[in-house]
Amino acid sequence: MAHKIAVPVTAPAPDASPPRPLPRRNEPPLDGVALRCLRVDLAACFRMAARHGLQEGICNHFSAVVPDRPDLFLVNPYGLAFAEITASSLLLCDFEGNVLEGEGTPEATAFYIHARLHRVKPRARAAFHTHMPHATALAMLEGPPLLWAGQTALRFYGRIAVDEDYNGLALDEREGDRIAAAVGDEADVVFLKNHGVMVLGATVAEAWDDLYYLERAAQAQLLAQSSGRALKPVPDEIVRRVAAQEAAGRAESARLHLESAKRILSREEPAFLA
């Protein structure tokens, strides 16, 4: 269930053109080209996530910090499904909940989780939260969620944190801070037990790439486990070696993955660019 944000927000009137945000003291002006590119990249991720069934109703959310403006971030508005998101529909917000560009407001848990994550963990330039089915199923099980038995899973070795303490909906800053603390200093993926997953990235492309492959790894693991036969784990030495190999080319592979997604969408769903 999605929840409307309860904090006071400043949003443009429905019949008015959104105001251009003014530079804050000691903050550079917005780079319009960079902001537009970020909008397109993030909108593409929403559309592709919808295609792969990674969303749940209107309840999940992606966000990204604006280049050269660590005090501002883009996030999807309350009430839109992933398949409806366009570049211009994304909200430009600050960490106090003010909407500086766009119509509507963020969903409550989106604001409390993402604003706190970006503020407390500045390395998390992009943060994707979903209840995607296979990864969420692993988050509902006792013990470690992802096992080192398939090649796709190995890319996540040493990069996973587990939040064992489900505490209900994130409807205040305390819960957002608690989730941020569970991330730690090195994790890019957080399994939120009894809830879902959070994927963090230095770029939108890297967050998207990890989100996609995390769900694929979880799906393969659950399919293997459903056979009733024992999993064949990869030896620790090889796990570490493959993880290092994956890390060496991950950023470029992620960039190309997102570029491919944008080409597909430009042909088949060009409305995402609006």
Backbone angles phi, psi at 257, to 5 degrees: -60, -45
Identify whether 68 is part of a domain. yes
Total domains, the chain: 1
Identify whether 260 is part of a domain. yes
Residue 231's pLDDT is what?
Answer: 97
Where does the pLDDT of residue 178 fall: very low under 50, low under 70, confident under 90, or very high at 90 and above? Answer: confident
Residue 17's pLDDT is what?
Answer: 36
Predicted structure pTM score: 0.90
Residue 172's pLDDT is what?
Answer: 79
Mean pLDDT of 189-203: 96
The residue range of the domain holding 84 is: 32-273
Decide: 133 and 66 in contact? Cβ < 8 Å. no
Q: What is the pLDDT of residues 72-111, one digit of tens each?
A: 999 999 999 999 999 999 999 999 999 999 999 999 888 8
Identify whether 72 is part of a domain. yes
Identify whether 27 is part of a domain. no
Mean pLDDT of 248-270: 98
CATH number at residue 104: 3.40.225.10
Where does the pLDDT of residue 170 fall: very low under 50, low under 70, confident under 90, or very high at 90 and above? Answer: confident
Q: What is the pLDDT of residues 23-68, one digit of tens each?
A: 455 677 889 999 999 999 999 999 999 999 999 999 999 999 999 9
